Amino acid sequence: MILSGLLTSVAINFALCVIFFTLYSILRKQPSFYKVYAPRMLAEGIASVRRPRQFHLSRLLPNAGWIKNAWHPTEEQLLSYSGLDAVVFMRIITFSFKVFTIAGFVGIFILIPVNCSGNQLQDVDFINLTNNTLDVFSISNVNNGSTSLWIHLGAVYFVTIIVCCLLFSEYKYISTKRIDYFCSSKPQPEQFTILVSNIPVSKGSNVGNSVENFFTENHADTYLSHVVVHRKSKVWTVAHALKKLYKKIFKIKKAPTQQQFTRDGFLVDSNGKVKKDKSREEVRAAFVSFKSRYGAAIALHMLQSNNPTQWRTEQAPEPQDVYWPFFSSTFMRRWISRLVVIVSCVILTVLFLIPVFIVQGLTNLAQLETYFPALKGILTMSIVSQVITGYLPNLILQMSLKIVPPIMKILSSQQGYICNSDIERSACHKVIWFTVWNVFFANVLSASAVNLVFIILEFKEIPDKLAISVPAQASFFIAYVVTLGWTSTSSELFRVIPFIGTLISKPFSRNSDNVTVPSFPYHKDIPKVLFFGLLGFTYFFLAPLIIPFLLVYFSLAYIIYRNQLLYVYAPKYESGGKFWPVVHDSTIFSLVLMQFIAFGIFKMKKLPYATSVTFPLPVITLLFNEYCRKRFLPIFMAYSTETLRKKDREDQTLPEMPRLLRQVSEAYQDPALVPLSYSSSHNSLREPLIPVAEVRG
Amino acid sequence: MILSGLLTSVAINFALCVIFFTLYSILRKQPSFYKVYAPRMLAEGIASVRRPRQFHLSRLLPNAGWIKNAWHPTEEQLLSYSGLDAVVFMRIITFSFKVFTIAGFVGIFILIPVNCSGNQLQDVDFINLTNNTLDVFSISNVNNGSTSLWIHLGAVYFVTIIVCCLLFSEYKYISTKRIDYFCSSKPQPEQFTILVSNIPVSKGSNVGNSVENFFTENHADTYLSHVVVHRKSKVWTVAHALKKLYKKIFKIKKAPTQQQFTRDGFLVDSNGKVKKDKSREEVRAAFVSFKSRYGAAIALHMLQSNNPTQWRTEQAPEPQDVYWPFFSSTFMRRWISRLVVIVSCVILTVLFLIPVFIVQGLTNLAQLETYFPALKGILTMSIVSQVITGYLPNLILQMSLKIVPPIMKILSSQQGYICNSDIERSACHKVIWFTVWNVFFANVLSASAVNLVFIILEFKEIPDKLAISVPAQASFFIAYVVTLGWTSTSSELFRVIPFIGTLISKPFSRNSDNVTVPSFPYHKDIPKVLFFGLLGFTYFFLAPLIIPFLLVYFSLAYIIYRNQLLYVYAPKYESGGKFWPVVHDSTIFSLVLMQFIAFGIFKMKKLPYATSVTFPLPVITLLFNEYCRKRFLPIFMAYSTETLRKKDREDQTLPEMPRLLRQVSEAYQDPALVPLSYSSSHNSLREPLIPVAEVRG
């Protein structure tokens, strides 16, 4: 990429950000756009679209009051308002900000002067030099064999140690928060319930009896009740599909909703109870509730049966978090689904190399000219070539990457998870590895694109290849930070698609009351933040110029995501900070990748001693990771006896406990199977945080 | 290796086997050798050394009566007499025998005729052909691109399916046996006890109080008692070492035993109780006992503390199985020890390549002549060259391999395990991988010996390299089976070292009563049997001639090990069949290795379709393994709620339960710290199986 291309990209994106910010600060004050910019406020009745208001000129002027509002709330307030997952997400950003402030300081004030003092690149002729001015600031400019490379090695060591310390304290903080959050929570159905699947049923019995017998025999002291899971029966499903088809053909206009149809399958008898008619059949799974949290935990962690594929136990998800479709699956089917999904992910990853190669083709203009000689005339125009090499590649990449999180979520949902939060966490994993592979490795190693898979099979040469390719891509990734970091995050604030949606639907819809409050797409945004972290780690000692761009991104992200968490997104479930181990692992991966690149760089720069001194780094980092896995990970897998017992003892004093326990099993009913629409009562814990006045800031 | 070399080796080893058998059948009838050949009988009082007997001529004649005795007992009898581990060991042999009978049938009657009908090797000149006659029977003789290779592919598929079926049924059988064994066992201390380590102690408290408080608070219903682990205090240890040195210098003759010294550290007070003087100090670990098996299992499987490195729980081993030295270790120290041991193992494995290369040098006589031209005169003598190429290499390998199991056991004992059975199982793992790597891979790939490590880094080429090298080593491994299989197993029967020991010590010792009954060295013998399995799998379709030799080995092993388990070895502990998962995993490894070699062979033989058809095999095998891990492995990790509850209910009716529970915690006392020597009462369950008459058969 040529320097002017990069500058063009920065300019375009900066302009876009300014436009988004300005528009947002005006539009958010228009009551007709509350639906887009403060749906959560609307839903909670703090703001109202319909209230007629006097017109003030200030409504049309952009201002920055919202920044203050977003900055203001403390972490405690955010926790009580948006849950622990939101806090964890914000801490990813602050953690990254801290790390890259330190790394940036080292990079800008120590490494850049060292890099500039070298003259390795002076052999390059002048025209190339202007095109690669940025390389003067990078490690490529340090002379081969120069002792000043030891400073880079020192920086790598320093940052590794700092990051490990920060990771440790962060893991500790979040695990404490997780336990505190659990301790301070009111009794919830999922705390007393487990999901039992693959229930063996003897002939002449049914699932309900089987569960009842097993648990009264083996968990007599703690067993409370159970709810057998049902699904629509196959015969009914076919009949229903035919009926639907029939209605569709003859009354296209009055299309009935799926929801109503599902309810059609039920007959409510005179007592108002659901009569189990042929529309549903038992599934060999049940939600089993216990009298205490500890009792539920025991049933969860102990092997129940002599055949480990039967009576399989899982922690019950929150009632509103249950993903019903997968309950009908057997152990084998869930397992095979998982394998199929893994294979699909691999195929998707390979197919995605196509847009990546197009992008790389654009950054190498000369190559493009060779393939399409007809374009030569246009490409010689300065502005066109700048847009094409600077802005276009990242735009294509951004568009292609947009479709990845939804696809990964669909794949994850087929993997046999029983709750949406697990699906989202699994999708988050997939998106991270997809991004690292397809954006980082595919771009960096695209010189030998077709052989990409084979490169990985030749272990020895990976550090060398990375050492050559990574520094060369510095300006591409700066452009990437600017496009996918700055602009994409600003467009998140502006909410482009819902905004357009509202504009289009406005003339057609009455000013109705039903506001859909979206939930935060963790599987889309966590990988994004983590990937910028990876770029920061790998480039801070190679081309420290990337760091200021990253710091701007993290600052933007901090304020924008906070704003969105407060005004736009409402939590749909609470995983209790279970996203943090994902963050920890991928940060460790970034660190090790950085160390491998350092290894390759020192080897290439002919500094054998430094190469050997680099070697202990990944070993130490991985040992540190292993220690953290032992020290903290179990906390995210299960609550301790200590905690559970304490909570149970506290509960005994609660007067409402008997009533709560009665409600526990009623909480788990497939919304598609109950006659009345299921209404979530799950936000009961959270109090509105921001007074009405502030919303209209 | 030349053919005559192989024949020499077979002849020597056959002769050795006959000698060992003959000597054994005579010597076992001499009362003075009962100590060597029937120590268990002696210890249990069935046979007696001192009983004067009439002299019969039959005592000096070899006979085969012992074979009948060893053959006779049923599996049930072996189970009650030698425990489940012995049964599992015998089942490894019968499993291998079954598999290789089927594979041998396919190999000898289908593959060998196909191999002989080829003429790939006719290009080779006549002299080479005589030297490699065996190759005519191997896959090397099949013409490149010949469709008859599809028969080999069919054989690989057939054997894979057969082995998977057998593995499944065997895993099922042994897991059922394991549960039955537990269900039929009398109450044992280890069933009610867990080991808690890394106990946090607040200031002004001690370990005992800490345990008492924690378990009365969190496990009030089931907690019974605890025993804090002690170690010799450091001050005392130093003082004691000095005292010992002093005594050593001045009274070398009257060397007191270590045991007495240890007891010296204690003062027994007037009531006969041990006074805790300064010789011992508390360790932050305790054996905690519960009122029921289920209670102990709950405490074992639940996360106890909010800091997962504290209150770590492990299943308590049988009292006589405890390995005391490692109790003083903290979580961190145990973890670091484990890492250090892994590194040591890797170093040992690399160092061991030296004897392997010497062995390979000997099998390539021409190479030897090049290095040592002076030897040329001797090496041209036919008998010398036959011994050198046929017998010597395997003898060197055998001698070097003899030292590996003890070394691995020492390494494992430093790894932080708390019981001997875990140490032995871990050593078993190490010995298996050591053997596979150093005997199989190092021998097979020794052509490029120095680059051995780098070969592994080049994934793609491994199947090709194996395809070339493995068939070429067929005769070497036949000689290996004969030497390390036949002779080594026969010498196990003859018990060479104890025999020589008795011969030497006889003139010096009085005919004393103290017989040491050895325990079965699983870590030495399981890897041996498994490695022969690996050879069988990899060679059955390459050079089926190896199979008859293997079948002879497995028959010998069956009868000899049965005999030894009945007369020589007494079980020191019972892991309840936990060795089987090791066997299963390594069999799966052998299968996959076989499939990789098949892949390489078909590629080399220019049969691309067959190559692609081979590809699904390892995938299916690994999926099968994964399923077995889910289906059976949890049974070997923990007993189910179902089983534990059932046992607990049965116990309630036992009149001796209160007494048993009182004894539970007394069972765990460091033998080095109690004034009276600890006597194991653990064989109480097992009844003598063989009447006196039979012993003297």
Are A152 and A541 in contact by the 8 Å Cβ rule? The answer is yes
pLDDT value of position B4:
77
Inter-chain touch B308–A632, beta carbons under 8 Å: yes
In this prediction, residues B321-326 reach a mean pLDDT of 79
Range with the largest mean pLDDT of A187-196, A358-367, A465-474, B445-454 = A187-196
* CB nearest A303 (choices: B304, B306, B641): B641
Per the structure, how many domains does chain B have? Answer: 2
Q: Exposed (0-12), middle (13-18) or buried (19+): which is B495, by Cβ within 10 Å?
A: buried
d(CA A23, CA B415): 64
In chain A, residues with a C-beta closer than 8 Å to the C-beta of B331 are: 630
d(CA B394, CA B669): 46
**How many Å lie between the alpha carbon of B325 and the closest alpha carbon of chain A?**
23
A124-144 pLDDT, tens digit each: 444 444 445 677 788 888 888
Inter-chain touch B309–A643, beta carbons under 8 Å: no
A550-602 pLDDT, tens digit each: 999 999 999 999 999 988 898 888 888 999 999 999 999 999 999 999 988 88
B594-607 pLDDT, tens digit each: 999 998 888 888 88
Residue A437 lies in a domain: yes
pLDDT value of position A136:
76
In single-letter form, the type of residue at position B609 comes to Y
Backbone φ, ψ for residue B195 (5° rounding): -105, 125
Are residues B99 and B202 part of one domain? no
In chain B, residues with a C-beta closer than 8 Å to the C-beta of A460 are: 454, 457
Q: If we measure between CA atoms, which residue out of A186, A294, A188, A320 comes closest to residue A661?
A: A188
d(CA A91, CA A689): 20
- Kindly report which listed range (A83-87, A263-267, A301-305, B292-296) carries the lowest average pLDDT score: A263-267
**How sure is the predictor about A258, in pLDDT bands with cuts at 50, 70 and 90?**
very low
In chain B, residues with a C-beta closer than 8 Å to the C-beta of A297 are: 302
Instruction: Annotate B387-455 with DSSP letters as a single string.
Output: IIIIIHHHHHHHHHHHTHHHHHHHHHHTTT-SBHHHHHHHHHHHHHHHHIIIIIIHHHTGGGGGGHHHH
**Is the pLDDT reported for residue B254 higher than 50?**
no
**How many Å lie between the alpha carbon of B627 and the closest alpha carbon of chain A?**
9
Residue A160 lies in a domain: yes
B225-250 pLDDT, tens digit each: 998 888 776 666 777 778 877 777 77
**Is the pLDDT reported for residue B276 higher than 70?**
no
pLDDT value of position A267:
32
In this prediction, residues B497-523 reach a mean pLDDT of 78
pLDDT value of position B149:
87
Question: Which residues of B fall below an 8 Å CB-CB distance to A?
Answer: 175, 179, 217-219, 297-299, 301-309, 331, 335, 339, 454, 457-460, 623, 627, 630-635, 637-643, 645
Are residues A503 and A418 part of one domain? yes
Q: If we measure between CA atoms, which residue out of B445, B432, B436 comes closest to residue B593?
A: B436
**Is the pLDDT reported for residue A25 higher than 60?**
yes
Higher pLDDT: B365 or B138? It is B138
d(CA A295, CA A224): 10
In chain B, residues with a C-beta closer than 8 Å to the C-beta of A310 are: none
Residue B598 lies in a domain: yes
d(CA B68, CA B559): 9
Are residues B267 and B151 part of one domain? no
**Is the pLDDT reported for residue B251 higher than 70?**
no
Are residues B353 and B205 part of one domain? no
Nearest-by-CA chain B residue for A295:
B298
Inter-chain touch B309–A630, beta carbons under 8 Å: yes
Inter-chain touch A630–B308, beta carbons under 8 Å: yes
Are residues B299 and B259 part of one domain? yes
DSSP state of A256: -
Q: If we measure between CA atoms, which residue out of B398, B649, B354 comes closest to residue B531?
A: B398
Range with the largest mean pLDDT of A515-529, A676-690, B54-68 = A515-529
* CB nearest B301 (choices: A175, A301, A459): A301
Nearest-by-CA chain B residue for A339:
B623
pLDDT value of position A53:
57
In chain B, residues with a C-beta closer than 8 Å to the C-beta of A632 are: 308
**How sure is the predictor about B319, in pLDDT bands with cuts at 50, 70 and 90?**
confident
Q: How many CA atoms lie within 13 A of B497 on its CB side?
A: 4
**How sure is the predictor about B458, in pLDDT bands with cuts at 50, 70 and 90?**
low
* CB nearest B640 (choices: A179, A304, A641): A304
Higher pLDDT: A33 or A539? It is A539
Are A416 and A285 in contact by the 8 Å Cβ rule? The answer is no
Q: If we measure between CA atoms, which residue out of B615, B597, B595 comes closest to residue B470?
A: B597
Are A309 and B646 in contact by the 8 Å Cβ rule? The answer is no
**Is the pLDDT reported for residue A217 higher than 80?**
yes
In chain A, residues with a C-beta closer than 8 Å to the C-beta of B219 are: 641
Higher pLDDT: A324 or A687? It is A324
Are residues A146 and A8 part of one domain? yes
**How sure is the predictor about B452, in pLDDT bands with cuts at 50, 70 and 90?**
low
In this prediction, residues B460-464 reach a mean pLDDT of 75
pLDDT value of position A276:
44
Residue with tokens 């309840």: B576
Share of chain B above pLDDT 70, in %: 81
pLDDT value of position B515:
75
In this prediction, residues A330-351 reach a mean pLDDT of 85
A469-500 pLDDT, tens digit each: 888 788 888 888 888 888 888 888 888 888 88
**Is the pLDDT reported for residue B428 higher than 70?**
yes
**How sure is the predictor about A453, in pLDDT bands with cuts at 50, 70 and 90?**
low
In this prediction, residues A158-177 reach a mean pLDDT of 95
Residue A683 lies in a domain: no
Give the mean pLDDT of chain A: 80
Question: CB count, 10 Å around CB of B660?
Answer: 15
Mutation target vs A (from B641, B645, B646, B649; most A CBs, 10 A cutoff): B641
List helix spans (H) across A352-391: 353-363, 365-371, 376-379, 382-386
pLDDT value of position B423:
92
Residue B483 lies in a domain: yes
B587, B611, B639: which is the final residue of a domain? Answer: B639
In this prediction, residues B155-163 reach a mean pLDDT of 94
Are residues B102 and B206 part of one domain? no
**How many Å lie between the alpha carbon of A288 and the closest alpha carbon of chain B?**
16
Are B310 and B316 in contact by the 8 Å Cβ rule? The answer is no
Are B520 and B86 in contact by the 8 Å Cβ rule? The answer is yes
**How sure is the predictor about A252, in pLDDT bands with cuts at 50, 70 and 90?**
low
Are residues A141 and A260 part of one domain? no
Are residues A492 and A553 part of one domain? yes
Range of the domain at B157: 3-186+336-639
**How sure is the predictor about A236, in pLDDT bands with cuts at 50, 70 and 90?**
low
* CB nearest B303 (choices: A218, A308, A638): A638
Are residues B296 and B366 part of one domain? no
Residue B654 lies in a domain: no
Q: What are the CA-CA distances from residue B112 to residues B99, B163, B233, B467, B543 (Å)?
A: 18, 21, 68, 18, 8
DSSP state of B326: G
**How sure is the predictor about B676, in pLDDT bands with cuts at 50, 70 and 90?**
very low
**How sure is the predictor about A679, in pLDDT bands with cuts at 50, 70 and 90?**
very low
**How sure is the predictor about A93, in pLDDT bands with cuts at 50, 70 and 90?**
very high
In chain B, residues with a C-beta closer than 8 Å to the C-beta of A175 are: 306
E strands in B182-237? 193-197, 223-232
pLDDT value of position B161:
95
**Is the pLDDT reported for residue B685 higher than 50?**
no
**How many Å lie between the alpha carbon of B110 and the closest alpha carbon of chain A?**
36
Question: Which residues of A fall below an 8 Å CB-CB distance to B?
Answer: 175, 179, 217-219, 297-299, 301-309, 331, 335, 339, 454, 457-460, 623, 627, 630-635, 637-643, 645
Residue A657 lies in a domain: no
In single-letter form, the type of residue at position B639 comes to Y
Instruction: Annotate B453-514 with DSSP letters as a single string.
Output: HHHHHBGGGHHHHHHHHHHHTHHHHHHHIIIIIIIHHHHHHHTHHHHHHHHHHTTTS---S-
A40-74 pLDDT, tens digit each: 888 877 765 555 456 677 777 777 788 888 888 89
Higher pLDDT: A681 or B407? It is B407
Model pTM? 0.84
**Is the pLDDT reported for residue A677 higher than 60?**
no
pLDDT value of position A269:
33
B263-273 pLDDT, tens digit each: 333 333 333 34
Dihedral over Cα of B553, B554, B555, B560: its sign: positive
Are residues B449 and B438 part of one domain? yes
pLDDT value of position A245:
79
Higher pLDDT: B513 or A464? It is A464
**How sure is the predictor about A266, in pLDDT bands with cuts at 50, 70 and 90?**
very low
A605, A631, A646: which is the final residue of a domain? Answer: A646
pLDDT value of position B687:
40
Strand partners, A313: A196
Residue B241 lies in a domain: yes
In this prediction, residues B542-571 reach a mean pLDDT of 92
Are residues A296 and A367 part of one domain? no
A631, A646, A661: which is the final residue of a domain? Answer: A646
**Is the pLDDT reported for residue A169 higher than 90?**
yes
**How sure is the predictor about B479, in pLDDT bands with cuts at 50, 70 and 90?**
confident
